[in-house]
Amino acid sequence: MNVFSDMVASFKIWAGNVTASFGFWINLAILALVLFMLSRVVIQSARVSRRMRRTSPLSEHVPDPDVTQRAVGRLSGMLRHSTITGAREPLKQQGEYIQTTYAQTLNKLGCLELPSGSMMLRWKARARTDALPVLFCSHLDVVPAGDGWTRQPFSGVTAGGKIYGRGAIDSKGTVIAMIEAVESLLAEDFAPGRDIYFAFGHDEETGGAEGAGQIAELLGKRGLQFDMVFDEGGFIVESLMDKADCAAALIGIGEKTTCTYKITVKAQGGDSSVPPPHGAVGFLAEAVCRIEASQPRIKMLPATREYLEKCFPALSFGKRLAVGNMFLSRPFLGAIFRHDYRTMALLRSTLAPTRLQGAEHENVIPAAVSALIDARLLPTESPEDILAHIRGLVADLPAEVEIVKMGDSVPMTDTAHPMYQLLARSLDEKYPRLPCIPMLLSGGTDSKHYGHMTDCVLRFSPFIMSYENAATAHGPDEYLTESALGLGIEFYKTFLRKL
């Protein structure tokens, strides 16, 4: 103890001598560093802010009322079908509804309805061309309704300028907007300059293997390659990060890989009236707590760096200081963004316990219980990397960890790609000076099944919405505003014309 005290005293004496001898220069160096960091923030703010616009002009756009109301009625009808993934009969009925509602449009395009319930449309070019076709994707299935709804989840009710129903955002709204845009262009005698395909899968919410996977196999047998694959993804958000007056178009240029891990714990079971010191449920609870508390390490991908830099004007001062000086602040980004779960999901792979299995009776201690962990992996990490991470966390527990579902990694799209630039120009034409911000999607889409057919996959749903609106997807009272649907149709028309 005396030795430690002597060491502390010696350090204080040394520090005092250094400060006395070099205090002026130390303080000057600290001041210079602070001024340098602040100057980087000012320069970055000025450089990016010129491209930012306020949200108020977004509200000035009013869609065609006739087109909008027709689309609202059709989306409302589509939302009445409870097409939860795996529900064959509702999916069949919804397919019949689409065939009846858009009979003339589908006849002109040509529609292939797969036995599984997925659909594929082909809009032929007006003349023979060497240009590669493009593929637009969406899906027809939805997740279960869940609890907390104040309206019937499959009623398609409209109220206050909003269309309510499971799938309104994810992703029946995009299906209706795409077909409505095509129907409107056909009424204007427009024909595209290249072939345009539309693929609507029936099982995207569980990975898309039978839907998009089979469509991709069919297209592959035809030897098709695409100039672009365009799927659901980011939105036009009215507010960005910490600022309510910054709007932006968030465009997904990549997505995380989805994997599922299973943790199985085995321990002494028996009658709950004579419990052992530690049961399988307790061990599993400990494992789950450790996993939630010890997420994988933060890794700064180039796409995430670009995303944060382009969000610069929408950040609070403290976050600007950190993002503008990441050569110093990178080790502290986790603490700086710890309350911003959307950004944290872009900075690291995530692990989320979702299902518990094994405990069936209230008065019996189970001998084995398990938990499923839904993992979303950064492109730089492999399923085996995360498996090793989880095993390390529970190494001292009677737990076994295995991979039960492994997704495929998807290449990132270069923002210099002509199709990305075409999308940006289309957005600028419709919403002048609206910044386009590339990002990595934390969720998965059907587009991963077509990644080997193109070098450009863009994930964007052209709907204007708030974060609160976007959060209703997969949640209670999911809704899409009528104006967002109408403007989405108009944007698809603008984009399709440029292809």
Supply the residues annotated as catalytic.
141, 204
Q: How far apart are CA 207 and CA 383, in angstroms?
A: 16
Structure tokens at 139: 């899906």
Specify whether the CB–CB gap between 317 and 403 falls below 8 A. Answer: no
Show Cβ contacts of residue 135 under 8 Å, excluding neighbours closer than 6 positions.
196, 197, 198, 199, 219, 226, 228, 229, 230, 450, 453, 454
Q: What is the end-to-end Cα distance of the chain in Å, rounded? A: 77
Structure tokens at 21: 């001898």
Q: How far is CA 420 from CA 52, 272, 379, in A?
A: 19, 61, 20
Dihedral angle, C-alpha 278, 375, 319, 241, nearest 10 °: -120
Q: How far apart are CA 42 and CA 65, in angstroms?
A: 44
DSSP letter (8 states) at residue 442: S
E-assigned strands of 107-205? 111-113, 119-123, 134-139, 158-159, 162-164, 196-201
Q: How far apart are CA 87 and CA 205, in angstroms?
A: 12
Other beta carbons within 10 Å of 296: 18
Structure tokens at 468: 């609160």
Give the H or E element holding residue 489. Answer: helix 482-498
- Rounded to the nearest 5°, which phi and psi values hold at 38? -65, -35
DSSP letter (8 states) at residue 272: T
Type of residue found at 392: G
- Rounded to the nearest 5°, which phi and psi values hold at 264? -115, 125
E-assigned strands of 299-445? 350-357, 364-365, 368-377, 399-406, 436-441
Structure tokens at 296: 């994988």
* Residue of 120, 123, 124, 158 whose CA lies nearest to 139: 120
Three-state secondary structure call for residue 258: strand
Q: How far is CA 371 from CA 273, 290, 448, in A?
A: 25, 13, 27
Structure tokens at 196: 């345009």
Q: How far apart are CA 266 and CA 170, in angstroms?
A: 39
Q: Residue 282 burial (CB < 10 Å; 0-12/13-18/19+)? A: middle
